[in-house]
Chains A and B, each alone.
Chain A
Amino acid sequence: MHVIEYITTHKELCWRLTLEHIWIVALALFLSIIIGVPIGIAITRNEQTAKKVINTANILMTIPSIALFGILLPILSLINQGLGKVPAVIALVLYSQLPIIRNTYTAITNVPPELVEAGRGLGMNNWKRLKEIEIPLAVPVIIAGLRTAAVMSIGIAAIAAYIGAGGLGVLIQQGIARVYEEMIIAGALFVSLLAIFVDGGFALLERLLTPKGIRIGRELSR
Chain B
Amino acid sequence: MIRYETVTKIFGSGQEAVAAVDDVTFDIEKGDVVAFLGPSGCGKTTLLRLTNRLIPLTRGRIIINDRDIMSVDAVKLRQSMGYAIQAIGLFPNKTIYQNIATVPNLLGWEEERIEKRVNELLIMLQLDPDVFKDRYPVELSGGQQQRVGVARCLAADPEIVLMDEPFGAIDPINREEIQNEFLRIQGNLKKTIAFVTHDIHEAIKVGDKIAIFQGGKLIQYDTPEIILTRPKNKYIADFVGADRALKVLGLLRTKDAMNTKPRNIIQSSTDARKVLEFMTDHGFKHCIVMEGDKPLGYVTPKSLKHKNGLVRDVTEPHPKLIRKYDTLRDVMSSMLMHDEYVLCVVGDTGDFIGTITMNDIQRSILNVYTEEEQ
A interface residues, Cβ below 8 angstroms from B: 112, 114-115, 117-125, 128, 132-133, 136-137, 211-214, 216-217, 220
Total cross-chain contacts (CB, 8 A): 81
Q: Among B20-28, B87-95, B192-200, B212-220, which stretch is in contact with chain A?
A: B87-95
Please indicate the chain A residues that have their CB under 8 angstroms from the CB of B91 in the complex: 115, 118-119, 132-133, 213
| Residue contact B152 to A122, C-beta cutoff 8 Å | yes
Is B75 an interface residue, CB under 8 A from the partner? yes
| Residue contact A120 to B54, C-beta cutoff 8 Å | yes
Q: Is the interface of A mostly helix, strand, loop or mixed?
A: helix
Which single residue of chain A is at the shortest CB-CB distance from B134? A212
The 8 Å CB contact of A217, one of B77, B78, B92, B103, is B92
Please indicate the chain A residues that have their CB under 8 angstroms from the CB of B52 in the complex: 121
Within the complex, what minimum Cβ distance (angstroms) separates A207 from chain B? Answer: 14
CA distance A116 to B83 in the complex (A): 13
The 8 Å CB contact of B94, one of A123, A128, A213, is A213
Nearest 3 A/B pairs, CB to CB: A118-B89, A123-B79, A211-B93
| Residue contact A212 to B93, C-beta cutoff 8 Å | yes
Within the complex, what minimum Cβ distance (angstroms) separates B74 from chain A? Answer: 9
Given contacts A122-B102, A123-B75, A125-B75, contact A211 B89 (CB under 8 A): no
Within the complex, what minimum Cβ distance (angstroms) separates A210 from chain B? Answer: 9
B interface residues, Cβ below 8 angstroms from A: 52, 54, 75-80, 83, 85, 87-95, 102-103, 106, 136-139, 152-153, 162
| Residue contact A133 to B79, C-beta cutoff 8 Å | no
Please indicate the chain A residues that have their CB under 8 angstroms from the CB of B102 in the complex: 122, 124
| Residue contact B75 to A214, C-beta cutoff 8 Å | no
Please indicate the chain A residues that have their CB under 8 angstroms from the CB of B90 in the complex: 118
The 8 Å CB contact of B83, one of A115, A118, A133, A216, is A118
Within the complex, what minimum Cβ distance (angstroms) separates A10 from chain B? Answer: 49
Which single residue of chain A is at the shortest CB-CB distance from B155? A122
Given contacts A123-B103, A124-B106, contact A115 B89 (CB under 8 A): yes
| Residue contact B138 to A133, C-beta cutoff 8 Å | no
The 8 Å CB contact of A213, one of B85, B88, B137, is B137
The 8 Å CB contact of B54, one of A115, A121, A133, A217, is A121
CA distance A151 to B50 in the complex (A): 49
CA distance A112 to B77 in the complex (A): 24
CA distance A122 to B85 in the complex (A): 11
Please indicate the chain B residues that have their CB under 8 angstroms from the CB of A220 in the complex: 138-139
Please indicate the chain A residues that have their CB under 8 angstroms from the CB of B103 in the complex: 122-123
CA distance A112 to B138 in the complex (A): 14
Please indicate the chain B residues that have their CB under 8 angstroms from the CB of A137 in the complex: 92-93
CA distance A163 to B103 in the complex (A): 57
CA distance A119 to B106 in the complex (A): 11
| Residue contact A136 to B106, C-beta cutoff 8 Å | no
Please indicate the chain A residues that have their CB under 8 angstroms from the CB of B87 in the complex: 112, 114, 117-118
Please indicate the chain A residues that have their CB under 8 angstroms from the CB of B77 in the complex: 123
| Residue contact B93 to A214, C-beta cutoff 8 Å | yes
Please indicate the chain B residues that have their CB under 8 angstroms from the CB of A211 in the complex: 92-93
| Residue contact A117 to B85, C-beta cutoff 8 Å | yes
Within the complex, what minimum Cβ distance (angstroms) separates A92 from chain B? Answer: 32
The 8 Å CB contact of B106, one of A114, A128, A133, is A128
Within the complex, what minimum Cβ distance (angstroms) separates B275 from chain A? Answer: 55
Most buried by A among B90, B93, B102, B162: B93
